[in-house]
Amino acid sequence: MTRPQPAVAVVTDSTAYLPPLPATAAGGLTVVPLAVVVNGVPGLETVDIDSATVAEALNARRVSVTTSRPSPEAFSQVYRKLLDEGAQSVLSVHLSAQLSGTYDAATLAAADFDGRVEVIDTQSTGMGLGFPALAAADAAAAGASLAEVRAAAEGAVGRTTTLFYVDTLEFLRRGGRIGAAAALLGTALSVKPILHTTEQGVVVREKVRTAGRALARLVDIAVESAGESDVDVAVHHLAAPDRADALLTTVKERFGERLRGAYLTEVGAVVGAHVGPGMVAVVIHRVD
């Protein structure tokens, strides 16, 4: 039997890096891809350019990698299609406005739809975006109103913490996602940073001396951020599958029965271009 069209359609962008299972369970989301340019050749994330291509380009160092937001016109086309297909309204859920112009492009497009389209800035990316988008999709599938779907997404934003480790701050510095002073400090002192996303963008949470210690602290901080709540956890990586597998195993051990769901995905070309190979992240979503 065909599932009825929800009254509220939910849109997100390709930097959510959703694992297959929850995306299917939520009934699916409309995903708008961001663009990547590798050595002058443009393409869409997840469509034309994958993680491996970007990791190889970054390792080569002489190859330029840049990213760009979808255009307002691209969002307008998606919103119009969903409304024409029977949706009464649209909630568009996106990565941090401090990290990309995607939120601004979606907001510009939404202005042409007389209040039928609303846009949310999740102040994060990866599953820091994905968990709120899935919460919105679940609410929409249950027949919630636009206000209720928005509240579900915003509630998930408030219960989600995104932490990550990078081998070097250089890629974040090149892309303007972290200050030059912070990047220079990390390089000069051989500091291994633990970072997190906030309403101000990417912020250094702690600085430690070795990669091993940084990964251990990443787990410690993730557990601390959960408080006493049950959690869903996502681990992301770029070209570091063994490191990510080990991290996920440790996270599972630490949370034990409090762990409701655990997901592992490699970040795509857009986030990968700014964090560099070796990055691992832990996203903690505290369950109601």
CATH of the domain at 147: 3.40.50.10170
- For residues 251 and 124, state if they share a domain: no
Same domain, 237 and 140: no
Q: Which residues contact 99 (CB under 8 A, 6 or more apart)?
A: 125, 177, 197, 201, 202, 274
* Integer CA distances (angstroms), 35 to 72, 106, 111, 138, 154, in order: 13, 15, 23, 28, 26
Q: To 10 degrees, what angle do helices 241-255 and 211-226 make?
A: 40
The single-letter DSSP state of residue 169 is S
Please give the pLDDT value at position 197: 87
CA–CA separation, 91 vs 75, rounded Å? 12
- Does 55 map to a domain? no
Do 113 and 186 fall into the same domain? no
My answer on whether 15 and 115 are in the same domain is yes
Rounded Cα distance, 226 and 232, in Å: 10
Assess whether 164 and 275 both reside in one domain. Answer: yes
Instruction: Give the end of a domain, one of 133, 158, 183.
Output: 158
Together in a domain, 103 and 187: no
pTM (2 decimals)? 0.91
Q: Does 95 share its domain with 114?
A: yes
- 203 and 108 within one domain: no
Same domain for 166 and 83? no
From first to last of the 288 residues of the chain, give the pLDDT tens digit.
455 678 999 999 999 999 886 655 555 699 999 998 888 888 999 888 888 888 888 887 767 788 899 999 999 999 999 999 999 999 999 999 999 999 999 999 999 999 999 999 999 999 999 999 999 999 999 999 999 999 999 999 999 999 999 887 777 776 555 554 454 444 545 678 888 888 888 888 888 888 888 899 999 999 999 999 999 999 999 999 999 999 999 999 999 999 999 999 999 999 888 888 999 999 999 997
pLDDT score, position 287:
92
The domain tally of the chain equals: 2
What is the pLDDT at residue 177?
A: 52
Q: Does residue 45 fall inside a structural domain?
A: no
- Domain membership of residue 270 (yes or no) is yes
| Residues 147 and 216 grouped into a single domain | no
Nearest of 143, 163, 144 to residue 204 by alpha carbon: 163
Final residue in a domain of this structure, among 119, 134, 158: 158
Domain finish residue from 131, 158, 185? 158
The predicted structure's pLDDT at residue 188: 47
Beta strands at 259-266 and 231-237: parallel, antiparallel or unpaired: parallel
Q: Quick check: is 106 in a domain?
A: yes
> What's 259's domain CATH number?
3.30.1180.10
Contact 53, 270 (CB under 8 A): no
For residue 44, the cross-strand partners are: 35
pLDDT of 275: 87
* 119 and 224, same domain (yes or no): no
**pLDDT reported for residue 149:** 97
Domain containing 115 equals 8-34+69-158
Within a domain: 60: no
Same domain, 167 and 135: no
